Amino acid sequence: MSSAASLIGVSSETDVGAFDYGEALSKSLLYFEAQRSGRLPYNQRVTWRDHSGLTDGLEQGVDLVGGYHDAGDHVKFGLPMAFTVTMLPWSVIEYGDSLASTGELSHALEAIKWGTDYFIKAHTSPNVLWAEVGDGDTDRYCWQRPEDMTTSRRAFKIDENNPGSDLARETAAAMAAASIVFRTTNPHYSHLLLHHAQQLFEFGDKYRGKYDESLRVVKSYYASVSGYMDELLWGATWLSRATDNDHYISYVVDMAHQLGGLSWAMSEFSWDVKFAGVQLLASMDMIIGTDGPSQIQTEACTYNTAPLVGVFARLIELEEQKLEEEDVSLVATYKR
């Protein structure tokens, strides 16, 4: 999913030297439609794509149809997909007005729900989460359209005997963040997402371990190099936002120093490393204590922690503010 940047088109400079951030935003969201797996909806805008992966999970007796293909390949990797679906709601939470003003809010919500619908299917019981569909090795040796793929669609899961705290907590973060976005427009769905998020939170904490130690097939592609401590805090932080439950706030505060990262100057925020995101959210929510937020914010706010959707929505917001300031300046000049 990180290859979204390759499909972003920015128009040539206009007479005033500005870029068309609206077009870049639109194409960023269009990318997610191109990456859809499963039975495509009637309003699919990327019309050269068709249904694919309609038997995903059949061999294991579960319905794993849907979700997103990883990049140019057709594997559905759970950890980067979950991170992607966490970042999309964060963009909507922070920049929903800008997304609405450009007519892209509905597309952003559709992109989120396409991911969370899949996670609901993949979370088949409280302590079972299907982590991957497809085989990276055979997939990348065989260049086919997803509609025609003949490579293995074997599915892999984490459970009590094969833990994956990083994957469970990242998926919990995605569903918790999405529950905030759908709270007003689709309260029943929001509640369902929150229910899954809370179960995954407990699963990831009670049965600790790195998912790539349980599922060796991911090591060559999305190994959890940073471990699972950052995701333990990341998932709790999003659940504290989604519920206002003191249990999750206390978890972050009590476990912060033991799990690490909150006082480190981080140089990366990615699908693998979430400490910078925890720092930023914690400073925004002011849950670390009297002296904590200012220190954490200083270390973290220089990092660009929003996905491209959020980045372009923010740029649009800044452009609108600039135009408003110019209008005020012109009025003041005229009055003088």
How large is the average pLDDT for residues 248-264? 81
Q: Output the domain CATH number for residue 213.
A: 1.50.10.10
pLDDT digits (tens, 9 = 90+) for 71-106: 888 999 999 999 999 999 999 999 999 999 999 999
Q: Report the percent of the chain where pLDDT is more than 90.
A: 61
pLDDT digits (tens, 9 = 90+) for 166-216: 999 999 999 999 999 999 999 999 999 999 999 999 999 999 999 999 999
Q: Containing domain of residue 72, as a range?
A: 2-328
Say if 171 falls within a structural domain.
Answer: yes
pLDDT digits (tens, 9 = 90+) for 207-241: 999 999 999 999 989 999 999 999 999 999 999 99
Could you give the CA distance from residue 282 to residue 236 in angstroms, rounded to a whole number? 11
Say if 334 falls within a structural domain.
Answer: no
| Number of domains, the chain | 1
Say if 104 falls within a structural domain.
Answer: yes
Say if 36 falls within a structural domain.
Answer: yes
Give the helix ranges, DSSP H, for the chain: 21-34, 78-101, 105-122, 136-140, 165-181, 187-206, 211-214, 229-243, 246-259, 275-285, 292-300, 308-335
Say if 115 falls within a structural domain.
Answer: yes
